[in-house]
Amino acid sequence: RHGWLTTMTRTRWIFAGQLGSQFDDGGRMLLVEARSVFGRRPMHRAKAHLILSALRHRVAELGDRVEFHQVDHYGEVVNGRTDLEVIDPTSYSARRFVRKLGAEVLPSRGFVTSEADFARWAGARPGKRLLLEDFYRSVRQRTGILMQGDTPVGGKWNFDAKNRHAPPKGAVTLGLPDPWWPTEDHIDAEVREDLDRWQADGLVQLVGADAPRRFAVTEAEANRALDDFIGSRLNDFGPFEDATLTGDWSMAHSLLSAPLNLGLLNPLEVAERVAAEYDAGRAPLASVEGFVRQIIGWRDYVWHLYWHLGEQYPRTNNYLQATNPLPRAFLELDSAAVEANCLSQSIEGLNARGWAHHIQRLMILGNWSLQRGYDPAALSDWFTDMFIDGTPWVMAANVIGMSQHADGGIVATKPYVAGGAYLNSMTDYCGGCRFNPKVRLGDDACPFTAGYWAFLDRNERLLASNFRLKMPYASLRRLPDRDAIAMQERVRDRF
Ligand code: FAD
């Protein structure tokens, strides 16, 4: 089975997350575009476009070395084949499928640390919390990135105190050049025509704007996007990592999650390139460390937690018993159906680009969903389908654990819930909003401020004993209008 003949003749089936050269060892390749993948649930048009464009661009690049099929279901091409090998794919269902097929399975790639590395790291801390900070430090030590021997460069592991500023007062944008984005070609035009036809035939339900493609689909484009980030936004990444301005959709973010998740960039190389900017004296340590932490810390950690927490984790955890359905504004990305400016702007940006930055995801869309008690599994599907970088492995820790606290505290020790005061300090949305972040009762009551108190009120039995929520619960108990707020938010129909 492992003899030279089979090695010579084996064909490597690669998936949409494996489109870069790090997944290519020079042999024959198989790519299958299965239309059913795009028709399972409503999907953002920009996401469907990005994936199809990326697959077809890879086919064009590989030329004679690739066997390419466009079918309804994968099985039509791969069932019964005995010549296939795969690099372990990124979801439970895909892993099951390739094993059932009997394909030769190679270890996964596309992350800084392997699953065996993580298992060893986690195994060395029996009974302890698996903290991002500890994991991140171990990856710094293992890779030597931003290290001087055993000590972190600059004497500290973490420069958060220098980062995470409020947006500059009075500014409309950060004043950085517009991010680079690709020029569409004939492949994109064909994808657009196909999507139009599939939609007209009722085969797919596409949501969101049919805008020009903004994210990389080839390794060359991904490297252009990385160069652009390093050249024009890296230095401001740290200070404004958590800030939001209405007029600046990208802020100083890298916009690299999609090319990373498509496999077009090697995360270790990305981190090394960014660290080299500090070494060369071109970028401040606080920004460089903040970014490196996202790539070699958060991204790998979230990936490993997906496997560590288990397949059932997203469907079986609903600690806060949240069962409300997602509203039409979410499902149809209809920003006009929403009056709260922060929420409306975040949905509008998502509609336009299929992307939102971390704070819009966590502290606006996620925070809102947590406060309103949306079903976490449905929300997780929504994040997967509506974001160009959405993939199941990202959802477990980010949506179920961190954002919705649906696991009762396995991933994060407290829910990411915040009221209008936080949003008013970290964004410029409140100035243009018909609600007032300081008001919690009545027509002008900010649905985030009132929603924050109503959330604490509703979940008191489950959350009041959480040490990190002691202060908020003490404040809730002092609120003279607590019952009236809870009642107001139970029946709120305008937000
Ligand atoms: P930057 O802010 O420039 O960060 C650099 C890179 O770090 C990102 O490209 C990403 O690869 C990595 N990264 C940073 N934080 C995380 C994290 N928490 N988890 C995983 N990777 C991280 N990321 C996705 O890749 N796909 C998703 O579908 C996704 N959904 C999210 C949903 C919620 C509710 C939350 C709270 C976070 C989600 N994230 C997701 C993580 C993060 O918000 C995005 O990676 C980031 O906003 C993408 O924009 P960027 O490339 O400009 O990131």
Residues 300 and 317 grouped into a single domain? no
Calculate ∠ Cα 443-371-454, nearest 5°. Answer: 60
Residues 452 and 483 grouped into a single domain? yes
Structural domain contains residue 184: no
Between the alpha carbon of residue 171 and those of residues 176, 243, 245, 421, the distances in Å are 12, 12, 8, 19
pLDDT at position 5 over 70: no
pLDDT digits (tens, 9 = 90+) for 277-312: 999 999 999 999 999 999 999 999 999 999 999 999
| Number of domains composing the chain | 3
Q: How far is the CA of 271 from the centre of ligand 1 (A)?
A: 15
pLDDT digits (tens, 9 = 90+) for 330-350: 999 999 999 999 999 999 999
Residues 132 and 102 grouped into a single domain? no
Q: What DSSP designation does 479 have?
A: -
Structural domain contains residue 417: yes
pLDDT at position 7 over 70: no
Burial pattern 268-295, b for ≥16 Cβ within 10 A else e, equals: bebbbbbbebbeeeebbbbbbbbbbbbb
Residues 166 and 297 grouped into a single domain? yes
Q: Report which protein residue has its CA nearest ligand 1's atom 9.
A: 257
- Tell me which residues have their CB closer than 6 angstroms to ligand 1: 253-257, 260-261, 294-295, 298-299, 302, 357-358, 361-362, 366, 383, 387, 389-390, 394, 398-399, 402-403
Among the three residues 106, 133, 161, which one is the final residue of a domain in this structure? 106
Among the three residues 56, 73, 106, which one is the final residue of a domain in this structure? 106
Q: How confident is the model at residue 494 (pLDDT cuts 50, 70, 90)?
A: confident
3-state SS, residue 203: coil
Tell me which residue range forms the domain holding 442: 313-490
The ligand 1 atom at the shortest distance from the C-alpha of residue 356 is 47
By most ligand atoms within 8 Å of CB, the mutation choice from 133, 262, 294 for ligand 1 is: 294
Q: Report which protein residue has its CA nearest ligand 1's atom 19.
A: 299
Structural domain contains residue 200: no
Mean pLDDT of the chain: 96
pLDDT at position 358 over 70: yes
Please state the rounded mean pLDDT for residues 461-476.
Answer: 97
Question: What is the arrangement of strands in the sheet containing 84-87, beginning at the earlier edge strand?
Answer: 66-71, 28-34, 11-14, 84-87, 104-106
Q: How confident is the model at residue 161 (pLDDT cuts 50, 70, 90)?
A: confident
pLDDT at position 4 over 80: no
Structural domain contains residue 75: yes
Residues 272 and 293 grouped into a single domain? yes
Answer for the pair 384, 332: CB distance below 8 angstroms, yes or no: no
pLDDT at position 2 over 60: no
Residues 329 and 478 grouped into a single domain? yes
3-state SS, residue 18: coil
Residues 385 and 455 grouped into a single domain? yes
Q: How confident is the model at residue 62 (pLDDT cuts 50, 70, 90)?
A: very high
ipTM: 0.99
Structural domain contains residue 228: yes
34: left (phi over 0), alpha (psi -120 to 50) or beta: beta
Q: Report which protein residue has its CA nearest ligand 1's atom 41.
A: 358
Answer for the pair 379, 345: CB distance below 8 angstroms, yes or no: no
Q: Tell me, what CATH number does 412's domain have?
A: 1.10.579.10
